[in-house]
Structure 1
Amino acid sequence: MDQQKVIRAGIIGLGGVGERVFQALRAHPAFQVAVLCDASEQRVKQAAETHRLAWTTDYRTILDDPAIDLIYVGVPPKFHHGIVMDVLKARKHVLCEKPLANSEEEAKEMSEAAASAGVVHAMNFPTYYRAAYAEMAKRIAEGFLGELKRVELKAHFHTWPRPWQQNHWIGGREQGGFIREVFPHFIHLIRAILGPIRDVNAHVQYPADPALCETAMFASAKLDGGVPVLFDGLSQIAQKENITFTMYGSQGTLSLQDWNVVKAGGMNEPLTEVPLPEIDRTLGLLDELAAAIRGEKARLVDFAEGYEIQQTLESLLRG
């Protein structure tokens, strides 16, 4: 691709995350948003008129446009497979929300199709582009932890869905729940820093209503070499939301709290916050995506990795 050519993008899905990605694409000099699509005519029309863009409620019309280079897919998980497979058939580059699919079988098919399509395929895992990730990866590479003893994720929610997540699907068992929405970020984080997750043994609690998502889960797993990994999820509790990812070592401890705060401590020391630079995680992702589309080396989470993440996710959900 011409290094100076602006990458023209189509947006499919203008929910909470989709709106943020849309605005980030608008702000990035390598991209130009050309058309918006959403199932809600009112929502997409309002956004398109505000920004003077073309709009549609039928994503297939975007795929027929040869001037569109990239498609962002920001729809609920059960629609990822059908839309992304059509995008790949149209030979468009694609950025997809997580999780990759709504089942392991769908994710496998998407990964295989992406590998054959000859296009750039990537997932939106913003934590990978945060300063917090870079700091933790650097310290681990330098041996800060010593011998890794245990990895723990605690994801506790006062209520799920949260107040800002009130939509028709995110609290449902079919494609919602905090395991699907939150845990993939940390499955990827563990894999990226520490390696594959094996031997998942999970227990998931659901309410009596079969339409509603999980309210609690606890799971154990292992890294290569036998280091235990513990997953602890809980919702509908009095406590304020607490998302904490911690790696315990013989020489040091590293903890990521509420997505952005890294705390570290050495031998017999309390954890103290590590100063971090301000980095726009979404713009960082788009830098890498633009590089890949232009044929340059890039750091992306592709669909092959997304499929591996999906396998661990499904093991957690199966309980």
Structure 2
Amino acid sequence: MAASSQSGKVGLGIIGFGIMGERLLRAALDAPEPAVQLIGVWDPAPEAAARLASVAPGLPMLPSADAVIEGCDCLYVATPPAAHLSLADAALASRRALLLEKPLSHDVEAARRFVARAEAEGARAGVNFPMASSPAVAQLRAWMEGGAVGQPEALEIKVAFATWPRSWQRDAAPWLSRRAEGGFTREVVSHFLFLTRRLLGPLALKGAQASFPPGDGSETAIEARLTAGGVPVTLHGGVGTTERDDTNGWTLRGTAGAIRLRDWSIAERQGEAGWATAPDALPNERMRPLVLRGQLEKVAAMTRGEPHGLATLREALEVQEVVEAILAAG
């Protein structure tokens, strides 16, 4: 593990330099006191090498996935889902720590086997659900612990998109727009299911519907009923139901009041005069770098074998099982 021995910092390697790989890399480069040292990237796409040279001129595009694994202390797998588990297995076989992009896989049974194996080995592994480091989510938790909700009675999750994929995801459309690996339920709804699991408890799907276009396109609408720690949850999602790229809401009501998260990063509490926004709330574009720095700090802690708070493999598997069951209802 040469990177950490040379610098004292955890050496992070990235496989897959699409949107998510670039975002985490930029967060590491822009941090005033970086939690990790970037050691290199591998992505077979020629355009990825050009983007890396522009974003981080001194960081190498390594010749192979094996070269990234060999040179890092922790591997971030940010490829399309079909490649996740083979790369994860290679990292764990080399005794590297692992940060996986969600979902674990497009194959639930393979994901179950992987999680069981990783847990049995005591692997240092987490999944990149950034809400684990969100100040807005921390505010929701603080309100809940302070009695703002009382006994939770009902949760509503809504997501809507003008088109799918969203405008800024067009480069990933070849897989994001298809039923096999893509769709907004895997890509977006999964974040809110993770949030629900973290704040309310285990998820259980009670019923679902999903609509698909002809051919192999991803879903255009979903509806589902769940419970989370026994609390009833309703979920609605659709494409072409808003003029905005992306709008979403997570609203929890209880015996003492209501709280919500809207548009990814705005925490609000219902009062006599309506919804009041948390005083330190930031729009997602400004919040995202802070959240990703928090994720990187957790990655460094995980790699050192310390408590961290990243989404666990088990949490990610539970989310994936619900997501795939919703999609199977189509």
- Verify same fold: TM over 0.5: yes
Deviation at 1:298, TM superposition (A): 1.8
Q: 1:139 to 1:59 in 2, by over 3 A?
A: same
Partner of 2:254: 249
Which of 76, 91, 98 aligns to 2:95? It is 91
**2:185 equivalent to 1:179:** yes
Q: 1:140 to 1:44 in 2, by over 3 A?
A: same
**2:79 equivalent to 1:71:** no
What is the 5 A alignment of 1:239-278? 239-240=243-244, 241-266=246-271, 269-276=273-280
TM-score, with structure 2 as normaliser: 0.88
Q: For each residue in 1:87-116, what CA deviation from the matched residue of structure 2 results, as whole angstroms up to 9, or x when unmatched?
A: 111211111111121122122122123224
Partner of 1:196: 202
Tell me how far apart the structure 2 counterparts of residues 242 and 277 of structure 1 sit (CA, whole Å).
Answer: 17
Tell me how far apart the structure 2 counterparts of residues 73 and 179 of structure 1 sit (CA, whole Å).
Answer: 20
**2:10 equivalent to 1:7:** yes
Does structure 2 conserve the Cα–Cα contact (< 8 Å) formed by 1:89 and 1:117? no
Does structure 1 conserve the Cα–Cα contact (< 8 Å) formed by 2:160 and 2:242? no
Q: 1:150 to 1:89 in 2, by over 3 A?
A: same
Tell me how far apart the structure 1 counterparts of residues 150 and 104 of structure 2 sit (CA, whole Å).
Answer: 34
Letter in 1 for 2:155: V
Moved more, 104-113 or 257-266: 104-113
**2:226 equivalent to 1:216:** no
Which of 250, 271, 294 aligns to 2:304? It is 294
Q: For each residue in 1:17-74, what CA deviation from the matched residue of structure 2 results, as whole angstroms up to 9, or x when unmatched?
A: 11011122334533211111012033225514752232235312323x2x42111100
* RMSD after superposition: 2.1
Which has the larger helix fraction?
Answer: 2
Does structure 1 conserve the Cα–Cα contact (< 8 Å) formed by 2:18 and 2:48? no
TM-score, with structure 1 as normaliser: 0.91
Does structure 2 conserve the Cα–Cα contact (< 8 Å) formed by 1:205 and 1:214? yes
Letter in 1 for 2:19: G
The number of equivalent residue pairs is: 314
Deviation at 1:186, TM superposition (A): 0.7
**2:90 equivalent to 1:121:** no
Tell me how far apart the structure 2 counterparts of residues 68 and 216 of structure 1 sit (CA, whole Å).
Answer: 41
Q: Partner of 1:79: helix, strand, or coil?
A: helix
User: Percent of aligned positions with the same letter in both sequences?
Assistant: 31
Deviation at 1:118, TM superposition (A): 4.2
Letter in 1 for 2:316: G
Deviation at 1:243, TM superposition (A): 0.5
Does structure 2 conserve the Cα–Cα contact (< 8 Å) formed by 1:107 and 1:306? no
Partner of 2:314: 304
Partner of 2:27: 24
Does structure 2 conserve the Cα–Cα contact (< 8 Å) formed by 1:255 and 1:262? yes
Tell me how far apart the structure 1 counterparts of residues 123 and 205 of structure 2 sit (CA, whole Å).
Answer: 33
Partner of 2:232: 228
Tell me how far apart the structure 2 counterparts of residues 55 and 4 of structure 1 sit (CA, whole Å).
Answer: 20
